[in-house]
Amino acid sequence: MAFERKYSDEVRDAAVRRAVERRQAEPGNRSILREVAEEFGVGEQSLRIWVKRLDDGMFSTGGAAQLRQAPRERLLTRIAELESELESSQQLIETLREEIEVLKKASAIFAAELAKR
């Protein structure tokens, strides 16, 4: 006997889309999932699971997943920027370490010259 879904894909997709839109519009509102679940006649916990799956990139329908595409691309771009910045910082650190070694050697030479006088 096959599993019968309680909610259609259309209802699930619409509810998730509405929840994501409301979260983006009202980031401080903690009752969004409850309100959207009531609005669409779905269980609050079901909606919470669907939204979490969307956040984790595991949501199976196309419409709501497109809402998350732009933020995901922004995150990937930001990650690339940070990796580039990290590489530049590591190169700068290496250069500074080399310069410190040169300065240590120079100060040793100057100290030896002063000691001779």
| Core vs surface per residue 28-38: b (16+ CB within 10 A) or e | eeeebbeebbe
60 versus 112: the higher-pLDDT residue is 112
pLDDT exceeds 60 at position 19: yes
The pLDDT confidence band at residue 6, using thresholds 50, 70 and 90, is confident
pLDDT of residue 110: 93
Span 91-112, mean pLDDT? 96
In degrees, rounded to 5, the angle at the alpha carbon of residue 39 between the alpha carbons of residues 37 and 40 is 70
CB atoms under 10 Å from CB of 40, counted, come to 18
64 in Cβ contact with 20 (< 8 Å)? yes
Residues 6+ positions from 35 with CB-CB distance below 8 Å: 22
Domains and CATH numbers, the chain: 9-84 (1.10.10)
**Looking only at Cα atoms, what is the longest distance across the chain?**
99
Host H or E run for residue 109: helix 62-116
pLDDT of residue 5: 73
Share of the chain above pLDDT 90, in %: 50
Q: What are phi and psi of 41, to 5 degrees?
A: 70, 35
Q: Which residue's structure tokens are 């309100």?
A: 35
Share of the chain above pLDDT 70, in %: 84
pLDDT digits 0-9 by tens, 20-73? 899 888 888 889 999 999 999 999 999 999 988 887 766 655 555 555 556 677
pLDDT of residue 1: 46
